[in-house]
Amino acid sequence: MSLSLPISIVDVFAEQQMAGNQLAVVHEAGCLTDAQMLAIARETNFSETTFVTQADASSATVRIFTPSGELSFAGHPTIGTAWTLTGGVGSTVLNLGVGPVAVEFNANIGWMRPPEVALQDGLSKTESARLVGLDERDLAADLPVTHAQIGPRFLLVPVNSLAALRDVTIDPVAWAPFIADAAELHSIFVFTRQAYSSDADYAARMFFNDGGVREDAATGSANTAFAAYLQANLGNVGSVIVEQGFEMHRPSRLYLEVNESIRVGGKVQLVVRGEIFIDPDSVR
């Protein structure tokens, strides 16, 4: 007999529908096995799908899956799942693999207080340029390439211009030694001080390995790492707007607050509410 569970699909870090990063949220999912969660994540084929295994008025326990496995933390699933639980009003705490993460909604923006970021020296500019398919002269001379760990691990690569950002092409041969061990280098976040909109501060692209190189339309965890990077290199710069996903035709806007503490925020748009059916005998 099939299980029938409520499911929501939302666009996260989206100023309007059909933009931002897609997220499927499966509710009342405590009855599912790990294999069933992974099968559903592969069925949606979004960068992440979340499973709410327990929820009450103030908190929820949530698991995050990509099509290839489970993550301890990711940003757009955190904000998007919180929106489906609260309707975008008030606050909640999500208990994730990394621990509790608070999300508060204010003026249509969901703000999360993410876990701490660990920054480390990155690759050389020469190696980084090869990795992203650019000339070393395309990388910003005054900012470092840096590794950041926040559950997922990112390589943050600064480039000089939107033109260079558009030209980024991940070299799978150059990346292969790093993705052989996913804990060593999972994702690459490339950014520039130029942006598509006059009121934005940066534009970025994020590439990750999930059974092959994929691009993400909007990445809360990477932008959390980027906020920590800005704090470390430029100080408490206050409010920052980052645009992502434009090259994928999924324009996204992420709001960063870089002060003594860091917050990452964005808007959420509801696209689908319905049911998902799964036969326990087919997927255990």
Q: Beta 153-159 vs 21-26: how paired, if at all?
A: unpaired
DSSP symbol at 109? E
Element (H, E) at 13: none
Residues labelled catalytic: 48
Q: Report the C-alpha gap between 104 and 88 in whole angstroms.
A: 8
Residues in the chain: 284
* Cα angle, residue 164 at apex, residues 229 and 255 outer, rounded to 5°: 40
Buried/exposed code over 59-88 (b: 16+ C-beta within 10 A; e: otherwise)? bbbbbbbbbeeebebbbbbbbbbbbbbbeb
76 vs 221: CA distance, rounded Å: 8
As given in the structure block, the two tokens for residue 160 are 């000089």
